[in-house]
Structure 1
């Protein structure tokens, strides 16, 4: 039996395979039997979007290393195809692959705006800032015609509810008409993820996201509109994006970012083998060095999920990254990690005047119910 041939990168996709999810009963293993037909290029994967009617829309977070308690994700799966995305393993719950399926078989929570309106109208609801785009990007390409993020923001705007958005898409500029007046009232902030300034690396690392130069322009556009914007340098990948830490921060500051935070590469569950495949497809000459350094920051393992270390790692190399990051932040006059969400004002919240009717496919019909208090 011959070893399997190296997997080929697919144009416009981050993952190079449809690796099995951890809940599948039947296990498959690739091997070379001599009968494989040589292909010049791996076949394309067409994006399929399925409408989904969710039962709830606000997710409560109990992780002590995350700066928010409530998040909202209008979509499952993400066409940006970022190979490092920690949300990839969630597709296993659907019986789909965290690999190519995650970035090509998407689910749109079409009742998200109505669900949000109903949850905000509940008497027991206590306002907290909501983070949007944490699990999957709320401004991925499908948002251009689904407009679910736009509708969610319209509800939050109406209710004077604080919101923080994180994205790597320039599509957020479309919603400046909502975000600008909210920012004036300390109700909105944004973070733009900038992993690298190198467009070649970006095309393989996050193939369907906006180019680095376009993201810098988005930072500038948001900042000029008066929307507090920070840069998320995430993930930092040793020997791939790590050499650019200071240059990324400087470019983001020059574009108008007032804050910054970072995360080192995380490889939970199926992200680990998918990232290994990506390294072998795109950076085979440095794959061993990259993983050796990752293990140095993870106590000898590919990943450690401990809350105290999972975001920034541990050890000499992790400490060196931390020092480089914060020295650059201090030198550039950026505020660093703290205060992004805490500065948002929850005291202005008012419950929605119109509440959706019975949940399900008919939720779009409003009842006209008024808020008496």
Structure 2
């Protein structure tokens, strides 16, 4: 084997190294973005994904490298003598401490070369590795920088080490693992950015729209300036629905009254069992004609209190980033009940009011 001395090997980035860098950066970017986005939108599954993904990737990377490591382990390492130029303990609080060695390796069939290694040495054996001492080392034939000191060499090599006198190799003959190159670093950075961008784009609705949903639906927030007079009305003998056009809401002043005025003109549809109000949808289930069901006059609902009830439900019941709200008024048995349900990233909350819009019960988010 020939060891080339002089300048270090030029950095090179093979396609495999670039792909590995891109994938590693992508996993790191996805993991970091998942942790941040998951915390912001309070998504436990996304946050856990950010924690678990690096571990899964590491396991897959380890398993994928097992065939290569098996092939490398099957290669018989080369044995040579080396002289310790210097040593330095670099830490450790146990009996085995990591020691950095500067070695001159002298193969039998190649020029001598210098190499730096770090290896754990027991404190009891540390005096045996003194500077200018000769030791037996092994290294893979194709990776001369992966030198390991043989702590218990064979008698033949132990005898050779005891009688050998080796000259130090010049510093220019130092070898090291070839660097990955600039392309590898660029691939890692590109993968990091792409992974983070993918997560942000995937959850952009929750990030940018979710936080504003509560204010958009809150009566205290300004309504969109888009003007529209279009609406859709569907009426049958048992039910009716009104759908507003863009830019309008049933929390706007007068909207519920106008919608119900067009639905309850007939005598047979003057009483309702249930009224459901959402942002742009109002639904009424009428009492069956000719029956004595409880029911109520939908025009008598406290529509003026609806904005305040939605405001309280979205801001004071612990629902962060509220996404939807719904008002349900019914009187199947007993007095009229108005119920407001708000859903968000952390669950749902509700409050109940009487026929005059006075709150009688609150159920905060858990």
Normalised by the size of structure 2, how large is the TM-score? Answer: 0.22
Q: Which has the higher strand share?
A: 2
Normalised by the size of structure 1, how large is the TM-score? Answer: 0.22
Greater relative contact order, per chain length (Cα 8 Å cut-off, separation 6+): 1
